[in-house]
Amino acid sequence: MVKQAAAKKETQEPYGKARKEGVSEVNITIRNGNVIKFEHTIRFLEEECMYGDGI
């Protein structure tokens, strides 16, 4: 089973930089009641970052 959630989010950069608007996506894979994969992807207009933790 894979659960997905997406949310639009504005982040404020420190030190007076301009705000960035992007989309955050979370993918969680659950097997037998245990989380076996967690991925967090953040997409901005000019860059993309991905954080993942395989368990």
- pLDDT score for 6: 56
Residues 39, 26 contacting (CB under 8 angstroms):
yes
Residues 26, 9 contacting (CB under 8 angstroms):
no
Q: Stretch 21-26: mean pLDDT, rounded?
A: 81
Q: Please say if the pLDDT value at position 44 is more than 70.
A: yes
Look over the chain and give the mean of its residue pLDDT values, rounded to a whole number: 69
Domain count, the chain: 1
CA distances, 22 to each of 18, 30, 35, 55 (Å)? 13, 26, 26, 27
pTM comes to 0.41
Residue 30: give the domain boundaries: 2-54
